[in-house]
Structure 1
């Protein structure tokens, strides 16, 4: 889950719903993407491994709050990462490679043995998958990996901030991509644009959420609807 404190409760957004929004962003970029179908699949499904974990809310008793993805216990988290990458790989080895590269990057400086083992496992997977690359896949793998990370951040911004605000410390100073710093600019609570311009046209996105209270009860559900303008 992606967790955002709101009043006396918590807004919860499922990881896979967030990754589908990442894919919508990628589908509307001005730049050419090659290979397009498998790269977009990787970006849209990079968090598919969280679907089972996000069927229920894991509560952090010490913090008296739901566990968010960045604090989630390590063992079940890396297991979900690994299984999710395998699911994407079963659709497309190239898409699986991009997702593997994405998650392995989280553990580049890992001190935890679980994280270190996961990273090594994924480096081995990447070596195996790379052997089957076409020339186009090889030439564009680094660029498509960076696009995945950027679209992931663009979507996380919407999940971690209340509509109309930019308060989360990860994104107050913008998001770097390709040597440029991009900023989300709110034009209302349901409309925003990315500056400098990055998308080819305006489009709409939807982001389902639920709200839980301190008693761990679900007290609301809804869908954020945003217009991304150019």
Structure 2
């Protein structure tokens, strides 16, 4: 999931990865026109609409970060949970078309490696810093600590309010 950052006590917008990919596809459909060509080839449009499909099962499990009481944000998801998403998305897309699978693999690799130099956030660095035994302990727990947060989802999107 993608969880918006917010000041303490303020609600956070929560979006499932399927909603993120649907929005990405809407952008691909709407933009391009005068400044650059729209994305029209079928394999590229497919990967845009499905680039994070490997997150579907994990999003459905609705794992809650015990530190925030909100669902795990993409970049805070424990390593042992996020690894399945990073192979699941390319595998799903490759079954459709090898080029879609390649683009999906590049998307996953870029996420872990600083977006090919365009970001100073390198998830592999965060993984190295994780306390793996604590992450394993927390990975099995679902739900939020009492009073930590209220999560309101409507159509998959929602807000997480810390109390």
TM range (shorter): 0.5 to 0.7
| Structure number having the greater helix percentage | 2
> Offset of 1:76 from its aligned partner?
1.6
In the alignment, structure 1 residue 100 sits paired with structure 2 residue 33:
no
| Structure number having the greater strand percentage | 1
> Offset of 1:12 from its aligned partner?
1.7
1:71 to 61, 67, 76: 76
Alignment gaps of 5+ in structure 2: 114-121, 129-145, 158-163
> Offset of 1:74 from its aligned partner?
1.0
Residue deviations 1:89-127 (CA, integer Å, cap 9, x gap): 1011101111111111123363557xxxxxxxxxxxxxx
Match of 2:154 in 1: 221
In the alignment, structure 1 residue 19 sits paired with structure 2 residue 24:
no
Match of 1:41 in 2: 46
Residue deviations 1:171-200 (CA, integer Å, cap 9, x gap): xxxxxxxxxxxxxxxxxxxxxxxxxxxxxx
Aligned residue pairs, count: 125
Q: Secondary structure at the match of 1:11?
A: strand
Q: Which has the higher contact order (CA 8 A, sep 6+)?
A: 2
- State which structure, 1 or 2, has the greater radius of gyration over its C-alpha atoms: 1
In the alignment, structure 1 residue 80 sits paired with structure 2 residue 13:
no
- TM-score (normalizing by structure 2): 0.64
CA RMSD of aligned residues (A): 2.9
